[in-house]
Amino acid sequence: MITLMVDVHSPEIRSKNMRAIKSANTKPEVLTRKELHHLGYRYRLGSKIGKIRPDIVLPKFHVAIFVHGCYWHQHRGCKLAYSDRDYSEKWQKKFKDNWERDLRVLNELNDAGWRVAIIWECATREQGVFEQTIKKLGKWIREQDTDFFESGYKKK
């Protein structure tokens, strides 16, 4: 059974709250960068690959890393994506556009010869899960055997 949640804020207050959410240097991004640095990886921030600006770029390994917020990128099956709400058409379009852009970016980077990793916010929330995620990511970077890495922790 799906329960629809009614927003307790007016549209103006909700809009103000949503605008206050950071899009860069989020806690999951900072944690991921610190752990990559601890493993000895040196990266660039704010680097562009064509018109695309990944969260973290490892030029030496030809790797682009995105640290996605589960809510904004609607991580399927994740409790942080709040998929049980009754979203307006505006928000449904926003989430759909984000998903389409993410897919397009992934394909463009792969076509340009870049390997892409996506770290989902939920994978950074629990220390043990995050440690395993970083170990797997480090191994994936070193071994260079596949073009795509994704790690998320879906706990409903």
- The per-residue pLDDT for range 97-155, each reduced to its tens digit, is 999 999 999 999 999 999 999 999 999 999 999 999 999 999 999 998 899 999 876 55
Q: What is the pTM of this model?
A: 0.81
Burial label, 16 (beta-carbon count in 10 A; 0-12, 13-18, 19+):
exposed
pLDDT in tens, 43-91: 998 899 999 999 999 999 999 999 999 988 888 888 888 755 666 788 7
As a whole number, the mean pLDDT across the chain is 85
Alpha helices in the chain (DSSP H): 11-19, 27-38, 89-111, 127-143
Residue 2 has pLDDT above 70, yes or no: no
DSSP state of 52: B
| Domains of the chain and any CATH numbers | 22-151 (3.40.960.10)
